[in-house]
Structure 1
Amino acid sequence: MDSTTSAPATPPVPSPEEPRSLRLEDWLTVLIMALLALITFANVIVRYFTDSSFAWTEEISVFLMIALALVAGSAAVARDQHIRIEFFCQSGTALRRRRLAQLGALSVALLFGLIAVLSVRVVWDDYRFGETSPGIGVPQWWYSIWLPVLSTLIAARALGVLVRRTRETPGEAASPAGGHQP
């Protein structure tokens, strides 16, 4: 390598407080993205050669995109990288930043806990009434069961962030990247 080219980038080092179990979300993201690419590629190939398409690909792709959004949301919450207004989160004392981080984590946990509880009713109704999906006619609860499951995962991740922020000493300030300010 000459002096004009840069060295290869090193992989990011996880924060010491980042949960090791985040590998679950990372692997689910990879798996879902691979399935989406495979399904879409297969549909394009079939459409190119036969002038028709697989009817089921759109329904499966929509489900996978929703699952991907929830899995990625869980990873963002666990890494404390969810959406916030930086003006309020970065200004003020360390105690204020800590309290805002705790309030944010608690709010996310309550919201997704509520979504999980209420969506169980949706799953039960889909099962009880024998609802089927519009595209391929499989039981609708096969899709809807993942909303309470993944919402519970997000709520649990938010509670983990709340616990980590509560255990911080008052002089430590939570940064938006999930680590501590230098």
Structure 2
Amino acid sequence: MKKFFGNFENYIMAFGLTVMTFITVINVISRKFLGLSMSFLEELTTSMFILITLLGAAAAAKRGGHLGLSVLTDLLPKKFQKYVSLVTWAVAAFFSVYLIRYGLVMVKGEIAMGITTPSLGWPEWWFGMFLPVGGIFILLRFTEWTIKAFKQSDKEGK
């Protein structure tokens, strides 16, 4: 179970990418051979792309795969390098909290106004929830990475 939750965003991304690929192929074939475009499929593809992008950022954070200034960090003594990860976490936390807060305000507005998607007529907030959910995953994974960096630094310091 721990492995499942440890890779939860990877499973969602794999499912989303599969769905995106499938519906995009259907839309391309429909356009090419039937001469009609199914705009509702484009809505789904765009929404899945947003979700996959945010979860991909979280997955990269978990692995420490975000672009960093390792050239500068590597010049610092080992005992100070963990503090750079703390600064990285602070910036990521600020960004994540902004995503969560802005996303929730956006979703509340979409619910209050009863906004629906143009083609499908589905509530827009269903897709708007991807923003705060993605922010939560990014915050969790950056926190996990920072704790791991501190533990590793403490082990190396002994």
Does TM-score exceed 0.5, indicating one fold?
yes
RMSD of the alignment, in Å? 1.9
Higher helix share: 2
Residue matched to 2:53? 69
Q: Where does 1:24-173 land on structure 2 (aligned, <5 Å)? A: 24-170=8-154, 172=156
Q: CA deviation at 1:171?
A: 6.5
Contact 1:71 1:150 in 2 (8 A): yes
From the CA coordinates, give the structure whose radius of gyration is larger.
1
* Cα separation, 2, equivalents of 1:91 and 1:81: 19
Q: AA paired with 1:141?
A: W
C-alpha deviations, 1:121-163, integer Å up to 9, x for none? 1100000111122333321101101111121111111111222
Normalising by structure 2, report the TM-score: 0.88
Secondary structure in 1 matching 2:119: coil
* Cα separation, 1, equivalents of 2:14 and 2:155: 37
Q: CA deviation at 1:165?
A: 2.5
Secondary structure in 2 matching 1:168: helix
The size of the alignment, in residue pairs, is 155
Q: AA paired with 1:50?
A: L
The 10-residue stretch of structure 1 (30-39 or 101-110) with the greater mean CA deviation from structure 2: 101-110
Contact 1:76 1:82 in 2 (8 A): yes
Report runs of 4+ in structure 1 exceeding 4 Å deviation. Answer: none
Normalising by structure 1, report the TM-score: 0.77
Gap regions ≥5 residues in structure 2: none
Contact 2:82 2:153 in 1 (8 A): no
* Cα separation, 2, equivalents of 1:127 and 1:104: 34
Identity %: 21
Contact 1:106 1:162 in 2 (8 A): no
Q: AA paired with 1:39?
A: I
